[in-house]
Amino acid sequence: MKTRKMPKVLLLKNGTVLDPLKGTSSKKDIIIENGKIKSIGKPKAPKSAEVLDCTGKVITHGFCDVHVHFREPGREDKETLATGSRAALAGGFTRVCVMPNTNPPLDSPESIRFITEKAADCPIHIHPIGAVTKGQKGMELTEMAAMVREGAVAFSDDGLPIANAAVMRRALEYASMLKKPIINHAEDLDLRDDGIMNEGEMSLKLGLDGNTFLAESMMVFRDIELARLSGAAVHIPHVSTKESVTHVAAAKKNGASVTAEVTPHHLYFNDEALVSYNTHFKVAPPLRSEADRKTLVKGITSGTIDCIATDHAPHTIEEKEATFTNAPFGMIGLESCFAAVNTILKKEKNVSLLDFIALLTVNPRKLMGFDTDLFQEGTEAELTILSPDETWVFDEDSIYSRSLNSPFTGESFIGKVNATLVRGNMTVL
């Protein structure tokens, strides 16, 4: 992977321009001048233009991930904003939102400013999500309005649920005044108990403590009801059970302001993957049953699921080499995201790129209030170039994160990211 400054004039030639906002796909050339979209169609480029041949490739909006953990401040040995940016570029992501469960957590205006100032030097756009409660302790609300002024785009105590329903209600009321979504890690910790994998046939077989589907779906239901009461927007992260999908679908039908995301790993794997006791498959919420996984795939085609988000969660090898019970939850996911999702949707449902690309581009941007019309002339070139049919094997060389905890290592994929253009730079893989 090589990143360099874009030439003054860059011509993307002979590519298929896939516009996820307008839902169109056609052969066009694009001229980028000084890092901005100059013209799209059959424009005449000056002789001095550098040409990037995009024959057989798709050019689309740069991907946007509303859920990553870059571990800064506190665990820079796992990831930093700079190393996380490299992982993002390798995955075709031009924009990410970082979760606040750092050490210390992003629970004050000063900590939000720390991220926005550091992000200014990064090669992608990075936006902080502020903590809902001080110290992520679940009780006292943070100074949300002041944090929004410093650049917080949403609020979450991710990693931990907001267990107290009254606190969640107040948080939703404040957030709705600020027009920002609340993202609640829906997992009832009492019900989860010591559960480290999905509760079911597999947990019995493997002798590992189970985490019931209800630990998630009950809280999803609660959050939707509280959002309805306050008229606020609630975003459900990493939906993993069929019951949660049912709740979200019903709420949307009733006009509640609810959106939902699914991760590539919940779409790709089920709890049978744990038969190896490989700790890279240990994640919260856990990989669920095949029936759950199939419902998540269906949730994408039915429009119930709005976004694909990686929940990119780096951990050191030393930590992940612990026993399954003791290893931390989480896996990295930025580099493998597009290929994993494209592979599953193509193989199982023959879903076209145009039918799911909005979940990686327009929908997450809409959720966070970012610009969604990236092909407009004069807009910063924030683009991803893909080979949707290329087959390849994901290995450790495909990883640019500071951590290597990917469950996808060794997987054969269909679809590859070739280049990522953002902030005046071009990264070619």
192 lies in the site for Zn ion, by CB under 5 A: no
Residue 205 CB contacts under 8 Å (≥ 6 apart), including other chains = none
Q: How far is the CB of 360 from Zn ion (least distance, A)?
A: 19
Chain mean position to CA 103: 21
261 lies in the site for Zn ion, by CB under 5 A: no
107 lies in the site for Zn ion, by CB under 5 A: no
Site string for Zn ion, 130-169 (x = CB under 5 A): ----------------------------x-----------
Q: How far is the CB of 85 from Zn ion (least distance, A)?
A: 21
Q: How far is the CB of 237 from Zn ion (least distance, A)?
A: 5
CA end-to-end span of the chain: 4
| Residue with the two structure tokens 């019951």 | 243
Q: Is the alpha carbon torsion for 349, 352, 353, 357 positive or negative?
A: negative
Query: Which pairing describes strands 50-53 and 307-308: parallel, antiparallel, or unpaired?
Result: unpaired
315 lies in the site for Zn ion, by CB under 5 A: no
79 lies in the site for Zn ion, by CB under 5 A: no
Helix (H) or strand (E) segment spanning residue 16: strand 9-19
Identify which range of 58-66, 116-124, 185-193, 200-208 contacts Zn ion by CB under 5 A: 185-193
Q: How far is the CB of 168 from Zn ion (least distance, A)?
A: 15
Calpha distance 210→202 (Å, rounded): 9
Interface pick for Zn ion out of 57, 185, 402, 416 (rule CB under 5 A): 185
Calpha distance 198→178 (Å, rounded): 36
Angle between helical axes of 214-230 and 242-253 (0-180°, round to 10): 20
Q: Which letter does DSSP use for residue 123 in this model?
A: S
| Residue with the two structure tokens 């009492």 | 190
Would you say 75 or 185 has its CB closer to Zn ion? 185
Identify which range of 1-9, 136-144, 181-189, 399-407 contacts Zn ion by CB under 5 A: 181-189
Would you say 310 or 361 has its CB closer to Zn ion? 310
Would you say 313 or 426 has its CB closer to Zn ion? 313
Report whether 360 contacts 310 (CB < 8 A): no
Name the strands in the sheet holding 155-156, side by side, starting at the edge strand that comes first in the sequence. Answer: 155-156, 182-183, 234-236, 258-262, 307-308
Q: How far is the CB of 99 from Zn ion (least distance, A)?
A: 7
Calpha distance 60→215 (Å, rounded): 37
Site string for Zn ion, 215-254 (x = CB under 5 A): ----------------------------------------
Q: How far is the CB of 170 from Zn ion (least distance, A)?
A: 21
Q: How far is the CB of 186 from Zn ion (least distance, A)?
A: 8
Q: Beta-carbon neighbour count of residue 292 at 10 Å?
A: 23
Q: How far is the CB of 205 from Zn ion (least distance, A)?
A: 26
Nearest to 361 by CA among 423, 307, 422: 307
Would you say 309 or 385 has its CB closer to Zn ion? 309
Report whether 323 contacts 275 (CB < 8 A): no
Name the catalytic one among 188, 311, 395, 397: 311
At CA 47, angle to CA 45 and CA 49, rounded to 5?
Answer: 65
Would you say 65 or 158 has its CB closer to Zn ion? 158
Helix (H) or strand (E) segment spanning residue 350: none
Identify which range of 16-24, 179-187, 215-223, 267-275 contacts Zn ion by CB under 5 A: 179-187
Site string for Zn ion, 321-350 (x = CB under 5 A): ------------------------------
Report whether 407 contacts 81 (CB < 8 A): no
Residues in contact with Zn ion, counted by CB under 5 A, come to a total of 2
Is 223 assigned a catalytic role? no
Q: Which letter does DSSP use for residue 134 in this model?
A: G
Which residues make up the interface to Zn ion (CB under 5 A)? 158, 185
> Which residues participate in catalysis according to the annotation?
311
